[in-house]
Amino acid sequence: MTTVGKRPATSPRQLTRVGDRLSFVYLERCRVHRDANAITAEDADGVRHIPSATIGTLLLGPGTRITHQAMAVLGESGAVVVWAGENGVRFYAGGRALTRSSALVEAQAVAWANQRTRLDVARAMYRLRFPDEDPAGCTRRQLLGREGDRVKRCYAQESARTGIPWRGRRFTPGDFGSGDAPNQAVTAAAQCMYGIAQTVVAALGCSPGLGFVHSGHELSFVLDVADFYKTDIGIPVAFEVVAEGPEDIGPRTRRALRDRINTTGLLDRCVRDIQTLLVPVGAALPDDGDHVTLLSDRGDEVAAGRNYGEGETDSAHGGVLVQDLRAQDALVRDGVIW
């Protein structure tokens, strides 16, 4: 195995698209190491190799140990690592984005920074979850009320469909075993969905903290995205697992959810949903190549890597002298032009 320093850096074009990756891989009671561009999981039964670029989220359960080199290759691959246990998700750690363009996070920031467009995106998120309703004109309070009613209705419908009694959402943070079987399954499904949402948000280079429904948390946007699929994937899978039996609710829910995510192509769907919500209609996202510019006045972009000091010319502006641009800057400052 070559050393990390002797291996060339992986470019975004060499990485697996987030929509083509495994939704998540769960490991417990093993040692995770690196072998070339794969991670290895070693336990009493032997060593398993997992290509790092195919992993969306790596869930590390109780009894796992992971080396620095394993974390390095996961970071290079844009994977998300989640430390999880019987008491729930404990910590999120993300690798670099699979894109080098800031176009999507800039679009997210623009939409988030304006109260009107922020509400527009929140309404679009509701419409995405419940396409049979039109939230146009709804206030935030009305959106929250509608969403709460739909989720309650989903619990009741799944209870009737599977024959599993539902007595309401009751759980104690940090105490997974305190809930009944349906609540444990719903919690386990939610934990996995948060990790998957974090995978896609990180891969696309979006800001996890700039939420449109949730607010005030470093993962507000992740919570927004995870909720997209609560009523059509997360809750139904949880009730189906409980209907099969009360044993090992957590592990069985994770496996069932993984299979459902893979068969429904959820990662690709999640990518499309985020891009549709954030990218203006008709706008095109740039490719994944390096594209670095400097921002000038009136929204103009000029070439980076150039000296814009006195006497320099700028080929991006037809070779005009920079002092001419500086004169224009003075007019901008004086309010003559903008």
- Return d(Cα 145, Cα 142) in angstroms, integer: 5
Residue among 192, 225, 221 nearest 82 (CA): 192
Reported as half-sphere exposure (CB side, CA atoms, 13 A), residue 254 has a value of 24
Decide: 283 and 268 in contact? Cβ < 8 Å. Answer: no
Which DSSP helix (H) or strand (E) runs through 257? helix 249-264
If phi > 0 it is left, if psi is from -120 to 50 it is alpha, else beta; for residue 237 that is alpha
- Give how far Cα 274 sits from Cα of 51, 104, 108, 161, Å: 26, 9, 10, 31
DSSP string, 32-60: EEEETTEEEEEETTEEEEEEGGGEEEEEE
Q: Which of 197, 235, 212 is nearest to 92 (CA)?
A: 197
- Please check if 227 is assigned to a binding site: yes
Binding residues for Mn(2+), by number, are 147, 214, 227
Binding residues, by number, are 147, 214, 227
